[in-house]
Structure 1
């Protein structure tokens, strides 16, 4: 048993290290800024077992409660809803209701089909200094409401072996959140994003290891109100957890991290900052818990991600709590 546990841990750590080295190898030397110094992708929220397709005909409902607090480097110019600001401080909370439906349809080749929707309610508070403001007054603004809905009309899952699973998600971010040009804080982006994400997951129930890695690309349409098109972005996430029997279920502790970078420059007349792109790297601990309640699978996950590096975007911390139940 101990030998098998050590072997499983060694395999997972090797896979995690390989993923990190691969991500570092493909990062070019040029640093990569998106409009508002953020994108539809929320770093550190994808690589989780809670996000995966249910294994059989069922509905997985989960709440995703997250808070991000960050600030930009002094003097860094940031395009924000038609404005150009610097010394930006941002605090945002997102409360998202997510539903993943597996109708029990098995496609040719053994692939399972599912679809999902995420309904976020967001609150954002921003303070910043406006460029060329000689009086030195800081601008402050706050907004809350329905954010940009995420629709996943096509999700595919396939079992590679007893312990290895793969999934492909096609995510569509719709501009349903409020946006007003010239306003410092907006809960919506006012543009569409198309994001295919590929997953690979290892689950060993006997020794209790769980390893997940995901990679995706985001293509964005133009924000017509500001004539700003945020460039294409890439992101890689990974989570490694070790579970032990505890508290009437299984409790796990592990590590989660992400790498995010723009691979194409912003464009349009609103992109006044020139050929700059955004980059961020984050790492932090994760606590997970799973059990059965009234015959249903119930999970919880608490994650803290500290951004170790950020260029041309704010740098800060993300705290995320996810609660899920399968019906």
Structure 2
């Protein structure tokens, strides 16, 4: 059995640089990610993964992502959603024994331009992500409200679904390469132009602006085929003027580890951690600070291939979530297809051939 293991100056190395933009997991899906107000956060855990900090080949690139999630929660998260849509008055005490279930099937489109001229010694890229798709949410159970000495109990279910477009998510990255070490910084945010109504259970916009920034690192040794990436950042959420609610500050870290089996195929693991670090403002007293947390981990596989004179890339990854607080948890999958400029062949050197015995 033989493996073509790429060297640092090989075509494979330059190809991986060209697809880096595709494996930055783009826009943050409000109804697919739950935390903060009514369990919905701006940041979508899993947005970044393998090769996140590797520079790309300059020029235009584009990516499309199909994203599916299925999550559930009970208690305070279900109560928060009913409070938001006005089913529970903010002036009463409540005891909710209910379950919330949500699903989303979304498509994200992400054009990006990578500049050839260095900025601060690094490579600048700018892009924007838009999304469209369908989200559905349901709550069922028993609600008891207390107003003074009077108690009212209601049993039943409510549900809602929406097919529309979401917010816009601009992003800028700056990346540096030093041998097998790659570094990046980024800034992104939310422009709240998507479908949003505070009285609906399901939305594809979050109803407020947000700004997020952070940094990351990728170790990539093409000679051995080893790769590891980690990107961490903080989100500042602006006030939702429809609900007079402001989410706290969120911390998140995404990571990916992979092994290239050949010049075209790699396999590995991906994961994330998400922790809200300051309290929300404007929440119902029963929710307290409503700080949220979740962790996720799962497998991934990637495949590189030529598309005419461009470079194509496919990636499939999935996460199972655990240790969630004040946030629905479940599982989610990402299927990414991207196309980007092919590395110049004039700089390609032959790959080293390793024979396994």
Q: TM-score higher than 0.5 here?
A: yes
Determine the structure 1 residue equivalent to 2:337: 323
Maintained 8 Å contact 2:53/2:217: no
Give the C-alpha shift of residue 35 in structure 1.
Answer: 1.1
Is residue 223 of structure 1 aligned with residue 240 of structure 2? yes
Residue 80 of structure 2 corresponds to which residue in structure 1? 79
Contact 1:82 1:226 in 2 (8 A): no
SS of the residue aligned with 1:137? strand
How far, CA to CA, are the matches of 1:309 and 1:60 in structure 2? 37
SS in 1 for 2:47: coil
Whole-angstrom CA distance in 2 between matches of 1:271 and 1:61: 45
Distance in structure 1 (CA, Å) of the matches to 2:133 and 2:284:
25
Larger radius of gyration: 2
Q: Does 1:284 align with 2:298?
A: yes
Q: What's the CA shift for 1:295?
A: 2.9
User: 136, 150, 160: which one pairs with 2:169?
Assistant: 150
Which residues in structure 2 correspond to 1:29-68 (within 5 Å)? 34-49=36-51, 55-68=56-69
> What corresponds to 1:16 in structure 2?
none
Give, in whole Å, the separation in 1 of the partners of 2:332 and 2:135.
Answer: 14
1:117 to 106, 109, 128: 128
Instruction: Please tell me whether residue 313 in structure 1 is matched to residue 332 in structure 2.
Output: no
* Cα deviation digits, residues 76-120 of structure 1 (max 9, x gap): 544233445741100012210011211212123x11211110011
From 176, 179, 182, give the equivalent of 2:193. Answer: 176
Residue ranges of structure 2 left out of the alignment (5+ in a row):
6-34, 89-95, 145-151, 342-357
Q: Which whole-Å CA distance do the structure 2 matches of 1:230 and 1:271 have between them? A: 15
Shift of 1:223: 0.8
3-state SS of paired residue (1:79): helix
Q: Distance in 2 between matches of 1:46 and 1:36?
A: 24
The alpha-carbon deviation at position 270 of structure 1 amounts to: 5.7
How far off its partner does 1:38 sit? 2.1
Paired residue secondary structure (1:229): coil
Partner residue in 1 for 2:315: 301
Q: How far did 1:41 drift?
A: 1.3
Alpha-carbon distance change, 102 to 297 in structure 1, aligned in 2, over 3 angstroms:
same
Superposed displacement of residue 149, structure 1: 0.8
Matches within 5 A, 1:195-234: 195-234=212-251
Local SS of the residue matching 1:227: coil
Report 1 or 2 for greater relative contact order, CA contacts < 8 Å, sequence distance ≥ 6.
2
CA-based RMSD of the aligned residues comes to 2.2
Instruction: Check if 1:91 corresponds to 2:103.
Output: yes
Structure 1 stretches lacking a partner, 5+ long: 6-32
Worse-matched range after superposition: 37-46 or 165-174: 37-46
Deviations 1:14-38 (A, max 9, x none): xxxxxxxxxxxxxxxxxxx511312
Distance 1:36 1:76, change over 3 A: closer
Q: For the Cα contact (< 8 Å) 1:216–1:234, is it kept in 2?
A: yes
| Aligned: 1:190 with 2:207 | yes
Distance in structure 2 (CA, Å) of the matches to 1:62 and 1:205: 24
For 2:254, the equivalent position in structure 1 comes to 237
2:156 aligned partner: 137
3-state SS in 2 of match to 1:134: strand
Distance 1:189 1:75 in 2: 19
**Residues 122 and 40 of structure 1: is their aligned pair in 2 closer, same or farther, counting only changes over 3 Å?**
farther
SS at match of 2:261: strand
Counting only pairs closer than 5 Å after superposition, residues 263-278 of structure 1 correspond to structure 2 as 263-268=277-282, 273-278=287-292
Distance in 1 of aligned mates of 2:184 and 2:175: 4
How far has the Cα of 1:128 moved from its partner? Answer: 0.6
Query: Deviation per CA, 1:206-255, whole angstroms, max 9, x where unpaired?
Result: 2211211000111101111111111110001110011112xxx5211111
